[in-house]
Structure formats: C-alpha cells, structure tokens
A and B are shown apart, each in its own frame.
Chain A
Amino acid sequence: MKRLLSGWRAALLLAVLIGIWELYADLGSATRRLILPAPHQIAKALYVDRGLLWSNLLVTGEEILLGIAVAMLASVALAVLIHFSESARRAVYPLLISSQAIPIPMIAPVLVLWLGFGLAPKLVVIALVSFFPIVVTTLAGLAAVDPELGKLMRTFDASRLATFRHVEAPSALPGLLTGTKIAVVVAVIGAYLAELSGTSSGGLGFLYQQAEAQLLMPRAYAAVLILCLFAIALFALLSVAERRAIPWAYQSRGEPSR
C-alpha cells in the first residue's frame, strides 16, 4: 500500500500527459481525430469491445506464456551446456550473439511458411526474440560463483554435478528470474510480430491490424493498451515471484557487513 501511494508522482504525470493528449485530439480537425483517437474514445472502445479484446487477449496471452516457457527451457539448457563445456561456449556463444542481429520482422513470415500455421511458428518467433537476455543473465549467475567456494567443494570431494546442484544452480536463480523479467517485455513485441505474419486468426496483434485497416483507431489503441498492461502485469508478477523464491537475495542487500 505504501509503495502504491509513493507512486503518486508517476500517476500525476500520467494524468497530465493523458490530459494534454485529450486536449490535442479534441481541439484538432476531424481528420486528426480519425487518425489519433482521444483517450475518452479509447476508454469507450475498451468498454464496448471488451468481449472482443478479452477473447483476443486469451490468444495472445497463451502465445506469450508458452513462448516464454519455450525461451526459458532453451535458455537454461544452453546456459548449462555453455557453462559445463568450454568447447560448447566457443561454438555456441558467437552464434548466440549473432542471433540477436536477425531481423525478426523479416524472417517471421518465412518461419511461419516453414513451420506451418498454428501456434508453433509463433512460439518460435517469441522465443527467438526473448531467449537472449535469459541465457546471458543465467550464464552470468552460474559463472559468478566464488572460485574459493569451488575449491572448498573440491576438498569436500563434491562431484561436478553436486557442486552444480548445491552451489551453482541456486546462485544462478536470481539471474534466471532477472533475465525472464526482461524477456517478458520483449516477448510481447515478439507476439505482435508473430501475429503480423498473415496466418493469424486471432490475438491482440491481429486485432490491431484489422482495426487499423478499417480505421477503427480507438479499437486499435485499446488493443495496444491491453497488450502493454499485460506485459506490465507479467513483469510485476515475476517481481513478486522473485521476492518469494529468492528472499536471500533481498535479505543480504543493504545490511551492514558484520
């Protein structure tokens, strides 16, 4: 509650910006209003089109959640592989970085053609745009283990696997969650791109395209707004999960060293 209240400055700024937008749209020409709907029109669309928005959110939400799951699985597998094998690091890491140079909007249609219709190509696109931060932060977490701790485990006769399980994996957990938080935001963009590819029959990205084509701009903006709120909600949810799953990462912070 305290944290909610302390956000009043941001809320005020948001209100002012919306107010300016409202005035700008209302005082403009009819053409301008057609292209840029006023906030009250968007609010109206949110209410009128609520059924439509909801059913399309379900489609996009499913894509994003499954896409993130695929990205996490692939990322953790890659990170562990790279962590354990120097050869794998040398082979995979450069490709991993190059993969970020792939212009997803261009290859998304190709992927869709190749993988066929349905969910699979969308998950690939979403995973492709969002896996990178997860790999990088998970790897950093795995590598951040104090070398002295490694020596200690060796004098305990711990196997490589035991050290991984008891020391490295838990210490990589915060990195995994941080990476996923970043990935969630990018995944929303990925979902939109995937739905652009012309094979979709649902989803907020699809709805946006359709509405835009028909110059139903309030509906288009409402779809964007819902997508934004969904991303923010996921981010917030992960932040809560982080505090629950790794309380020690917060506990030790800011404490005087004794």
Chain B
Amino acid sequence: MIEAPVKEPRDLSGPTGVQVEVVSRTFVTKRGEVKALDGMSLRAPQGAVVAVVGPSGCGKSTLLELICGLQSPDAGTVTAAPAVLMPQRDLLLPWLSAIDNAGLALRARGLGRDEARAHAAPWLERFGLAGFERTRPAELSGGMRQRVSFLRSLLAGKPVLALDEPFAALDAITRAEMQAWLAHVLEIESRTVVLVTHDVEEAVMLGDRVVVMSPRPGKAVAEIEVELQRPRRRTDPAIVALRERTLEALGVRA
C-alpha cells in the first residue's frame, strides 16, 4: 500500500492501458463556462482496475468520455487503447431479448443476427443467464439487466472498459452481489478497467488502485494502492482501513 502524489512519474502503462496526462476540459453552457476537469491525470496499466472516486459533479463522467474518445481534451493528452463505455443505467433495448441485447455491439459491427447470438450464447451461460436468452429486459431483475449490459460492453471486444457507476442504480444487496461478480469476471476475462463510482467501499473492493478526485474542477488529489488478494472481504481490517483513508482523502471525516 503506497500512497503517492499523482504527478510522480511511474511507468505503469502497457500498450493497452490508459494514460490521461494533465487534462483540462471546459464546457460552455447557457450560464457560462463550466470547468469540469483541470489538470486531471490518471494511469491505468494493462489489465489493472482503477477506481475513480469523487464528489458528485467532479467531472468523472467527462473523464470516461475522454477515455472513450467521445470528447477531446482542451489541454493535456489522453492516450488510451480502444475503450468501450458501460453506462450507469443499463440502457438495454426493450424490444430485444437478453441475447440480442448482449450481441448489440457485434450487430453494430455488421455481424448477422445468428452469428451475434452464437458469440453471445456461451457468455450468457457463463454470466449466470442461461435460460434467460429469449427474455426481454422488462422481465429481468436489476442485477440480471446489469449483467447483460456489462456483457454487451464486454463483447464489443475492446481492451479498455470504462464503467460509469455501474451499480449505482441497484439496491444494496444486489449491488454487493454484483461487485463480487464483477471482481470474479475480471479475474477470468482480464481487461483494463476504469471504474467511476461514488461508493468508496466499491472502489476499494474492486480497484487495484483508487484515484480520489477533488470537487469541480476535478483533478486527482490522491492515489491509493490496494494490494490485496481477491476475493476481498468487506470486513477485512485492511479494506476498512483503506476505506477510511479514501474517505479522508475526499475530505470526509469519520
């Protein structure tokens, strides 16, 4: 566990990682300019899970859109392997079955329906969704929908996953289950993950490293390494200590 200032140069980025270097991004709105990010830096080496926590409106979503190439920075550089977004809400298409939703990225690339299904089918089984292939989202539970949504992003086949508060909309029990599930999936299917969350516990449970952001304009104010074996336990004193440390970095006094 090493806490280091962000700007200390460290060579962590592999060829499929993410490097965000002193990035600024300003939006022009009707009420004037809003500086979302100011001097934000973040590095995620290949296969690492970097959790980003920060107060509401600190530019976390902007950060993910920069990584996904949906926006360009006003200053600074973003170097990232192809990244796919996983939105906060599941955004499943109500007219498609679970298997067709999961295969949407494949269809978007021009694969036929049967081909996309053939690709998605073994994954649905692996994700505990066997028997629900033909079920529409309205009849799936919240946790199942989130799994389908995650699978849809995973099947886009990109080395980087940008997860935007993926479990924020779930109830506490389902969220805990899904966090354990995600940790397990990433063990099997290694990807570089940037996970934005406002749940400090989620950050230390899932991340190899936790990046703490300041209020808007957002920048990294602390970086906390989580060098703990998986599966992790919430009640592990080391986890509790890291959670306290993260909260402290956020300026929250216990």
Residue of B91, B94, B109 near A152 (CB, 8 A) is B91
Instruction: Report if A155-B104 is in contact (Cβ < 8 Å); known contacts: A162-B110, A249-B94.
Output: no
CB <8 Å contact, B94 and A151: no
The SS class assigned to the A binding surface is: helix
Q: Mark A157-189, 1 if CB is under 8 A from B, else 0.
A: 111001100110011000000000000000000
Residues on B with C-beta less than 8 A from A152 are 85, 87, 91, 153
Tell whether B115 is near chain A: CB-to-CB under 8 Å. no
Residues on B with C-beta less than 8 A from A156 are 84, 104-105, 108-109, 156
Residue of B109, B136, B156 near A155 (CB, 8 A) is B156
Residues on A with C-beta less than 8 A from B63 are none
CB <8 Å contact, B84 and A248: no
Within 8 A of A (CB), among B106-123: 107-110
Within 8 A of B (CB), among A223-257: 246, 248-249, 251-252, 255
CA distance A148 to B87 in the complex (A): 7
CB <8 Å contact, B84 and A255: no
CB <8 Å contact, B93 and A155: no
Instruction: Report if A170-B138 is in contact (Cβ < 8 Å); known contacts: A152-B85, A157-B109.
Output: no
Instruction: Report if A149-B142 is in contact (Cβ < 8 Å); known contacts: A155-B68, A162-B110.
Output: no
Residues on A with C-beta less than 8 A from B110 are 162
Q: Mark B146-168, 1 if CB is under 8 A from A, else 0.
A: 00000001001010001000000
Residues on B with C-beta less than 8 A from A148 are 87-89, 91
Closest CB in chain B relative to A189 CB, distance in Å: 33
CB <8 Å contact, A162 and B107: yes
CA distance A250 to B139 in the complex (A): 12
Tell whether A44 is near chain B: CB-to-CB under 8 Å. no
Residue of B65, B87, B95, B141 near A258 (CB, 8 A) is B141
Q: Mark A123-163, 1 if CB is under 8 A from B, else 0.
A: 00000000000000000000000101101111111110011
CA distance A170 to B92 in the complex (A): 13
Residue of A155, A249, A255 near B85 (CB, 8 A) is A155
CA distance A180 to B134 in the complex (A): 30
Closest CB in chain A relative to B16 CB, distance in Å: 16
CA distance A154 to B68 in the complex (A): 9
How many of A's residues come within 8 Å of B, CB to CB?
25
Within 8 A of A (CB), among B196-237: none
Tell whether B70 is near chain A: CB-to-CB under 8 Å. yes
Residues on B with C-beta less than 8 A from A157 are 108-109, 156
Residues on A with C-beta less than 8 A from B139 are 251
Residue of B nearest to A162 (CB): B108
Closest CB in chain A relative to B128 CB, distance in Å: 17
Residue of A154, A163, A246 near B95 (CB, 8 A) is A246
Instruction: Report if A155-B84 is in contact (Cβ < 8 Å); known contacts: A146-B91, A166-B107, A249-B94.
Output: yes
CA distance A38 to B84 in the complex (A): 71
Residue of B nearest to A158 (CB): B108
Residues on A with C-beta less than 8 A from B95 are 170-171, 246, 248
Residues on B with C-beta less than 8 A from A146 are 91
- Of B104, B107, B108, B142, chain A has the most CB atoms within 10 Å of the CB of B108
CB <8 Å contact, B94 and A163: no
Residues on B with C-beta less than 8 A from A249 are 94
CB <8 Å contact, A248 and B104: no
CA distance A94 to B93 in the complex (A): 32
CA distance A77 to B133 in the complex (A): 35
Tell whether B51 is near chain A: CB-to-CB under 8 Å. no
Residue of A nearest to B89 (CB): A148
Tell whether B83 is near chain A: CB-to-CB under 8 Å. yes
Residues on A with C-beta less than 8 A from B162 are 155
Residues on A with C-beta less than 8 A from B65 are 151
Task: For the complex of A and B, list the 3 residue pairs with the smallest distance between their C-beta atoms, beginning with the closest.
Answer: A158-B108, A252-B138, A156-B105
A-B contacts, 13 of them at CB < 8 A, read A148-B91, A151-B65, A151-B70, A152-B87, A155-B83, A156-B109, A156-B156, A166-B93, A246-B95, A248-B95, A252-B94, A252-B137, A258-B145
Kindly list 15 other residue pairs between chains A and B, CB separation below 8 angstroms, not including A151-B70, A155-B158, A251-B138: A148-B89, A149-B87, A149-B91, A151-B65, A155-B68, A155-B70, A156-B108, A157-B109, A157-B156, A158-B109, A248-B94, A248-B136, A251-B94, A255-B138, A258-B141
